Amino acid sequence: MPKKPVLWDHKPSGKLLRTPLNAAFPSAEDVSWILRGIPEFIWLGLLYRDYGFRRTVQIAARVSRAVSTAGDDADSEVAVGASKFDALSDSQFEAMTKRLICDSTLDSVIRALRPMLVIYSGCPFSRLLPCADQTPEDHDFERMAETIAEMTDQRSKLAMCCQAAVVGVAFDSGRIKTVGRLKLSRWTEIEGYPDADGSVEVGAMVRAGVIMLMGCGLVSTPQSEWPFRFWNRGHELSSCSFAE
Amino acid sequence: MQLCRMSDTETIRRIIELAELFAVDAISEFDASLASWKFDMARNTEFEVIGALLARQTTLAVRIARTPQVWNDHVAPILLRSMADVHITICWALESPEERCPKFVEYGIGQLKLNIEHVKNVGDAGVEPGAISCELPALEDWLEGQKARYFIDVNVGSMSGDGGIHKMAKDCGCKEFYDLHYSPLSGCAHSMWQCIGRLNLTPCTNPLHGWHSVPFVPESYPDLHFLHAAARYFDMTLRRFRQKIGSELLATTAAEKLKKAMQDALSDVE
């Protein structure tokens, strides 16, 4: 069989040879899990490390519902990415906090998020901790560094559970719907990821779903500066390190 | 001035020592220049592209300084042309970093994708794929780390659009540099006639032979001119960078120190 030329399936656009995907979706933009995903969902990672998958989903759903009922002009998107909390007014944030006190969720949130609150002053959740001058301790830095490191691999158990929580909260809000046979509707199976049968395939759909939800601005604010503030703070805290 | 024509071995030793001092100073100057640029993750691509180009310029200058065997007409121009290319590219990128640095990255990863596809396409053609084939798995890993391959477009034109590096030089006020440095050095880099005709042909003086020229492999001897050229290009690039980011210019740069020290070392010889 004659060999096909190199890049035979690419579509020429002047001097640019576009991949089939790029040609089919010319206006698609990159969404970086590391640059944006980690800062947005690190709070879910901290919840997961303290409480496990089910309680994390429960807390995240309660927080998101608390935001959606926090006043007449509350954001109609799904408040699960950290940047969504950045956008809340003081009165909306206060209303959300009161709701979390009522359903006994606030203390759990503050306890798990403590490392983030004391290290990243000015983070979207900083209004939860009135005493903003608390000094971070060594274990706070360790907790943050370990959580970020584990979330860096989008396929890690921790990252997958965070992403599944995002999907779960999005379903809970009613803003996304699916049919039962689609793998995205089986997002709860991520609790057994990666060993449970079928969980790896579900995981692939969850990852794709989260990137799509981020890209369309439903679960996070695409132009938010929070991710840059997050990473810049990391640069302030410590210097670069290199593999040997 | 060629080192071999100096009879004073002490001076030769001193010059090689000064070249090493320049190398150390150049690295320090690079480190200090980069440290004066306030990092911002929102502009990470600019930091990485311009920073890596500066590191490249420094690496070339340092390697030239530490290798007197390349201070000759045959090898140094190839390396200096690379330095000239880096200088123009950095100046061009600094004019509009937000737009041009991502373009630089996209172009590069597209080129690598094309290289890899060519190697994989060789198969049973019987053509040696070249050095890249040995590094193929590592290169593929690196490429996937940059961007998923099915999203990497390949630009078979020039990175900057029409006009290539000549237009880039004009855009960033480096036209004179292009005309006086880059363009002549390109002749050697591409082994064009104006280079090989002078360097790899020697005239036959036998009157019976019709005054032809004979190809040959010449001996070559280190010439300080090439060390100074490398230092000068390095200096120009770092100055332009510091100027663009609003950083203080150094009281004495590594190149200036080298020039002064060389003048002192050679004053007795001359």
Residue from A83, A54, A48, A44 nearest A67 by CA: A83
> Longest C-alpha distance within chain A, in Å?
72
* Rounded alpha-carbon distances, angstroms, from residue B219 to A128, B70, B79, B201, B228: 76, 12, 19, 13, 21
Q: Which residues pair with A12 in a beta bridge?
A: A17
Give tens-digit pLDDT for A46-55: 999 999 999 9
Give the closest of A3, A15, A35 to B121, CB-based. A3
pLDDT number for residue A75? 53
Long-range contacts of B174-180 (CB under 8 A, 24+ apart): B174/B87, B174/B88, B174/B91, B174/B92, B177/B84, B177/B87, B177/B88, B177/B236, B178/B84, B178/B88
pLDDT of residue B123: 63
CB contact under 8 A, B40 and A228: yes
List Cα–Cα distances, B90 to A27, B109, B243, in angstroms: 29, 18, 12
Residue in A13, A25, A31, A232 to test binding to B, most B beta-carbons within 10 Å: A232
In chain A, % of residues over pLDDT 90: 79
Residues of chain B with pLDDT under 70: 1-7, 123-134, 268-270
pLDDT at B82: 97
pLDDT at position A77 over 80: no
Q: Which of residues 90-119 of B touch A (CB under 8 A)?
A: 114, 117-118
pLDDT above 90 (res A110)? yes
**Distance (Å, whole) CA B104 – CA B210:** 52
Quote the longest CA-to-CA distance of chain B.
Answer: 73
Token reading at A75: 């954001």
Query: To the nearest whole angstrom, how far is the Cα of A229 from the nearest Cα of chain B?
Result: 8
Query: Least CA distance to A24: which residue of chain B?
Result: B151
- Cβ atoms of B121 and A3 within 8 Å: the answer is yes
pLDDT of residue A15: 92
Hey, how many other C-beta atoms are within 10 angstroms of the C-beta on A104? 9
**CB-CB neighbors (< 8 A) of A15 in chain B:** 155-158
Among A6, A21, A235, the residue with its CB nearest the CB of B151 is A21
Q: Chains A and B: how many Cβ contacts under 8 Å?
A: 51
Whole-number pLDDT of residue A72: 57
Nearest CB neighbour to A19, from listed B150, B155, B158 = B150
Question: From the list A17, A225, A232, which residue is nearest B154 (CB)?
Answer: A17
Q: Does B38 touch chain A if contact means CB atoms closer than 8 Å?
A: no
Q: What is the pLDDT of residue B93?
A: 96
Partner A contacted by B162 (CB < 8 A): no
B157 touches chain A (CB under 8 A): yes
Q: Which residue has the tokens 């998020």?
A: A113
Residue tagged 């007014």 (tokens): A89
CB contact (8 A) between residue B154 and residue A7:
yes
pLDDT over 80 (residue A71): no
pLDDT confidence of residue B101: 97
Q: What percent of chain A has pLDDT over 70?
A: 95
Report pLDDT for A229: 96
Q: Which residues of chain A have a CB within 8 Å of the CB of B147?
A: 30
Mean pLDDT of the A209-230 span: 93
pLDDT at B64: 97
Task: Give B110: exposed, middle or buried? Use CB within 10 Å, 0-12, 13-18, 19+.
Answer: buried
Which tops the pLDDT comparison, A1 or B150?
B150
Query: Is the pLDDT at A205 greater than 90, yes or no?
Result: yes
Mean pLDDT over residues A117-144, rounded? 86
CB contact under 8 A, B114 and A228: no
Q: Is the ipTM reported for this complex over the cut 0.85? A: no
When pLDDT is averaged across residues A170-190 and rounded to a whole number, the result is 89
Torsion over CA: B185, B189, B192, B194 (sign): positive
**pLDDT at A21 > cutoff 60:** yes
Determine if the pTM surpasses 0.95. Answer: no
For chain B, the first-to-last Cα distance in angstroms comes to 10
Q: Which is more confidently placed, A179 or A124? A: A124
Asked whether the beta carbons of B93 and B237 are under 8 A apart, the reply is no
Q: Which residues of B touch A20 (CB under 8 A)?
A: 150
In this complex, the residue of A17, A19, A228 whose CB is nearest that of residue B156 is A17
CA atoms within 13 A on the CB side of B7: 2
Smallest Cβ distance to B153: which of A16, A30, A232?
A: A16
